[in-house]
Amino acid sequence: MPHTDTPQTYRVKSFGCQMNVYDGERMAELLAEQGLTAAADGDAADLVVLNTCHIREKAVEKVYSDIGRIVKDATEEGGSAPLIAVAGCVAQAEGEEIMARAPAVKMVVGPQAYHRLPDMLKAATSGARVTDTDMPADAKFAALPKRRRAGPTAFLTVQEGCDKFCTYCVVPYTRGAEISRPHADLIEEAHRLIEAGAREITLLGQNVNAWTGENAKGQTIGLDGLIRELAAIPDLRRIRYTTSHPNDMTEGLIAAHGEVEKLMPFLHLPVQSGSNRILRAMNRSHDADSYLRILERVRAARPDIALSGDFIVGFPGETEADFADTLSLVDAVGYAQCFSFKYSPRPGTPAATMDDQISAEVMDDRLKRLQDALNRHQLAFNQASLGRACDVLVERHGRHEGQWLGKSPWLQSVHFMAENGVTPAIGDILRVELVQAGPNSLAGRILG
Ligand code: 5AD
Ligand code: SF4
């Protein structure tokens, strides 16, 4: 397809966090509104949007190699290359460089500017190459189409950006300053998602628990107030939220975990390190003890809560003693699941130029030891669930005939067979007994 033809089909490929998944869905909705249709799996698309992530290593290299592969695949059999748009956080951070280095890219669009994709597309189909990396986000949401499609589990971005400036992190630079979307818009979007079939909504934000807004009575509320209001919508069965910062874990939000039945017993609360010295160097503004005290209060409100976190190993200056503090914290918490990463210097962040960067070998070794510990805890958590009866939200078919997959309240993957006279359907919430536990999933039996 020559570039000056209007594209008929699109593909959005999202990398990285759940907010990118949300943004990818919104870009797809925008393109659909312009009359484009999603390319079928395996088919070439006329327009490819690479919705990129810049949080860790090799992000930029990956984008260039993806672009190269897309062009090669499309042109190998005499076809023409698709229109390529680079979106997301790499676009924000490296837009000019991408335009200079990759002639195949016709559009570069930042995470706060993608509502302008339709206009950019018009310009690109007239032969122009366009970049839009404007901030901030407030105009974006209002300009997006209404939600019309949703699976049983849906994401809803309530807050974007970050003012915390952890010294390793690019988010404050790529996503911009913290903004909370207005309450009324969120209630409206939640209703639309539920009408479209969502049974569970995960509220998203880089600092989701910093969300604040004004309710219909003009009162200022926090995330707990929003959760309570959403919980009153009858067809919404489950609510989750991610990612939280320890400093914004308010009393009200902790209490909601004990009081709001639809709020699932799961909390993702990154700590990053167990060493107070490293936490200070990371500018985390909490220490290991204050973090553990928050978890104690959450557990007092909701004793069965499943805890999750993020860790970075090999932050500049991290000694073996600092790392031992991280392992102690992991054992003290007993996480249900976690994400763990090797520190990756991000251009423009303060930590990238700190002394005492840690060697790759040391990082590999620490990451392995940390992951061994985390896996041990994850398996123990899953094993402790055995014999429990719980609700499972059915999300999709399994790999085997008659097998189904869903999630427990504690966000564990559960697989089970259609039996006991029950024919599951996607979106059902079934009573299931957990009968077998592995490190990454559990087997369940429908209880009728
Ligand atoms: N290097 C490694 N991990 C990082 N994260 C954020 N920035 C970096 C970095 N420069 C991790 C943190 C954060 C998660 C989303 O990604 O653990 O919580
Ligand atoms: Fe990045 Fe820290 Fe903000 Fe999380 S709180 S997005 S790690 S700067």
What are the pLDDT digits (tens) for 247-273?
Answer: 999 999 999 999 999 999 999 999 999
Residue 400 tokens read as 């085997």
Q: Facing residues of 403 across strands?
A: 417
Does domain 140-384 fall under CATH 3.80.30.20? My reply is: yes
CA atoms within 13 A on the CB side of 152: 16
Lowest mean pLDDT among 140-154, 221-235, 395-409: 140-154
**For a pocket test of ligand 2, which of 17, 56, 171 has the largest count of ligand atoms closer than 8 A to its C-beta?**
171
Return the closest-CA partner of residue 209 out of 132, 279, 149, 269. 269
| pLDDT value at 1 more than 60 | no
57 Cα to the center of ligand 1, angstroms: 10
Using CA positions, which residue lies closest to atom 5 of ligand 2?
Answer: 164
CATH class of the 389-446 domain in this structure: mainly beta
Residue 143 tokens read as 């300009």
pLDDT, tens only, 140-151: 988 898 898 889
410 Cα to the center of ligand 1, angstroms: 23
**For a pocket test of ligand 2, which of 19, 207, 291, 339 has the largest count of ligand atoms closer than 8 A to its C-beta?**
207
Span 185-211, mean pLDDT?
Answer: 97
Distances (CA, A) of 269 to 230, 311, 334, 445: 22, 10, 13, 31
Answer whether 344 contacts ligand 1 (Cβ < 6 A).
yes
SS3 for 298? helix
pLDDT score recorded for residue 183? 97
Going from N- to C-terminal start, the domains of the chain cover 9-136, 140-384, 389-446
137 pLDDT band, cuts 50/70/90, is low
Match domain 9-136 to its CATH number in 3.30.930.10, 3.40.50.12160, 3.40.1190.20, 3.10.450.40.
3.40.50.12160
Can you tell me which atom of ligand 1 is nearest the CA of 169? Answer: 7
Using left for φ > 0, alpha for ψ between -120 and 50, and beta otherwise, residue 273 falls in beta
Pocket of ligand 2 (CB under 6 A): 162, 164-166, 169, 171-172, 206-207, 245
Please answer whether residues 275 and 282 qualify as being in contact, where contact means their C-beta atoms are separated by less than 8 angstroms.
Answer: no
Could you list the residues known to form a binding site for [4Fe-4S] cluster, using ranges: 17, 53, 89, 162, 166, 169
Answer whether 346 contacts ligand 1 (Cβ < 6 A).
yes
pLDDT score recorded for residue 56? 86
Can you tell me which atom of ligand 2 is nearest the CA of 162? Answer: 3
What residue ranges in 217-327 does DSSP mark as E strands?
Answer: 220-222, 238-242, 266-268, 306-313
**For a pocket test of ligand 2, which of 18, 169, 170, 285 has the largest count of ligand atoms closer than 8 A to its C-beta?**
169
CB atoms within 10 A of CB 276: 16
In SS3 terms, 335-351 reads as: CCEEEEEECCCCCCCHH
Ligand located closest to 346 CA:
1
204 Cα to the center of ligand 2, angstroms: 14
169 Cα to the center of ligand 2, angstroms: 6
CB atoms within 10 A of CB 20: 22
Please answer whether residues 242 and 18 qualify as being in contact, where contact means their C-beta atoms are separated by less than 8 angstroms.
Answer: yes
365 pLDDT band, cuts 50/70/90, is very high
Ligand located closest to 283 CA:
2
pLDDT, tens only, 20-42: 999 999 999 999 999 999 999 88
pLDDT, tens only, 77-129: 788 899 999 999 999 999 999 999 999 999 999 999 999 999 999 999 999 99
pLDDT score recorded for residue 173? 93
Q: Max Cα separation, the chain?
A: 64
Q: Which residues make Cβ contacts (< 8 Å) with residue 344, sequence separation at least 6?
A: 56, 57, 168
Alpha-helix residue ranges (DSSP H) falling in 260-401: 276-281, 288-301, 320-333, 360-384
Lowest mean pLDDT among 7-11, 61-65, 134-138: 134-138
pLDDT higher for 266 or 44?
266
142 Cα to the center of ligand 2, angstroms: 25
d(CA 5, CA 437): 53
Return the closest-CA partner of residue 392 out of 428, 366, 365, 359. 428
